[in-house]
Amino acid sequence: MQRPLIGITARHVNTSEGLPAVRILRAYVTAIVDAGGAPILIPPELPEGCWRVLLDRLDGVLFSGGADIGLEHFDGEPHPTVDVEPVRDALELPLLRAAVDADKPLLGICRGFQVMNVALGGTLYTHILDQLPNALQHDWHDKPRDTLAHSIRVEEGTRLAEILGAPLLQVNSLHHQGIKDLAPSLKATAYSPDGLIEGIELPNHKFALAVQWHPEWMRSHEEMRRLFRMFVEAAK
Ligand code: MN
């Protein structure tokens, strides 16, 4: 069986020598390869004529994690902790809308989850701890990435419930922002105990699903491997 071609959104960084580079963490690559896909990197800030050619040839798109989305895209409340990646916004927001329009399978992770909500008209808390009353700690960047941080309750009757196969799961948590207003076309598929949305999907789409946690760092959990397999399967 041929491996579907999965684009993974990447970021701009400087190498240790100060040279501009394009980068993704290998956990995403490994997750896609193990799930049966062939990964390819999508650099940020491509001209539209360029990313449209890529999108045309891709069988699926993985919107990866990263820094915050520019506040101007959702009229967000300024906060001193906000750390943006404008070159990624410039690519990822229109790319997500185009992927939805083309019914291309897509999976969003962390920043990618927030990109999906904002691209489709939703808003974000720009710092959960200061803006969501009684919020749990969601920013566990000082711990190993597979640290189980909080539970999620998965909504019955959703694609995510079908994939994960359990109504209650423990997940990692590496984010300081989260969904405030859900985009009108999206359905919430999972919640943390403080009421924060941790999963979303677009009903009536081939596969358009996103999670706030990082399944690529939970590959020792069969449910999370299944999430990647189902995504790659949908892209075949
Ligand atoms: Mn969380």
Q: Is 216 a catalytic residue?
A: yes
Q: Are 85 and 31 in contact (CB under 8 A)?
A: no
**Torsion angle of C-alpha atoms 173, 23, 205, 225, degrees rounded to 10:** -60
Q: How far apart are CA 46 and CA 32, in angstroms?
A: 23
| Pairing label, strands 197-201, 187-191 | antiparallel
Q: Is 72 a catalytic residue?
A: no
Q: How far is ligand 1, taken at its centre, from the CA of residue 204, in Å?
A: 26
Q: How far is ligand 1, taken at its centre, from the CA of residue 172, in Å?
A: 7
| Pairing label, strands 150-154, 60-63 | unpaired
Residue-wise pLDDT tens digits, 130-151: 999 999 999 999 999 999 999 9
Across the range 32-57, mean pLDDT stands at: 97
**CB crowding 85-124: b at 16 or more within 10 Å, else e:** beebbbbbbebbebbbeeebbbbbbbbbbbbbbbbbebbb
Q: How far is ligand 1, taken at its centre, from the CA of residue 1, in Å?
A: 36
Q: Are 186 and 177 in contact (CB under 8 A)?
A: no
Domain 5-234 CATH superfamily: Class I glutamine amidotransferase (GATase) domain (3.40.50.880)
Query: Among the options 85, 92, 110, 127, which is catalytic?
Result: 110
Q: How far is ligand 1, taken at its centre, from the CA of residue 130, in Å?
A: 15
Cβ-based neighbour number of residue 206 at 10 Å: 13
Q: Enumerate the domain spans of the chain.
A: 5-234
Q: How far is ligand 1, taken at its centre, from the CA of residue 47, in Å?
A: 33
pTM of the shown model: 0.98
Q: Is 12 a catalytic residue?
A: no
Q: Give the residue from 88, 79, 61, 65 showing the smallest Cα distance to 124.
A: 79
Residue-wise pLDDT tens digits, 180-224: 999 999 999 999 999 999 999 999 999 999 999 999 999 999 999
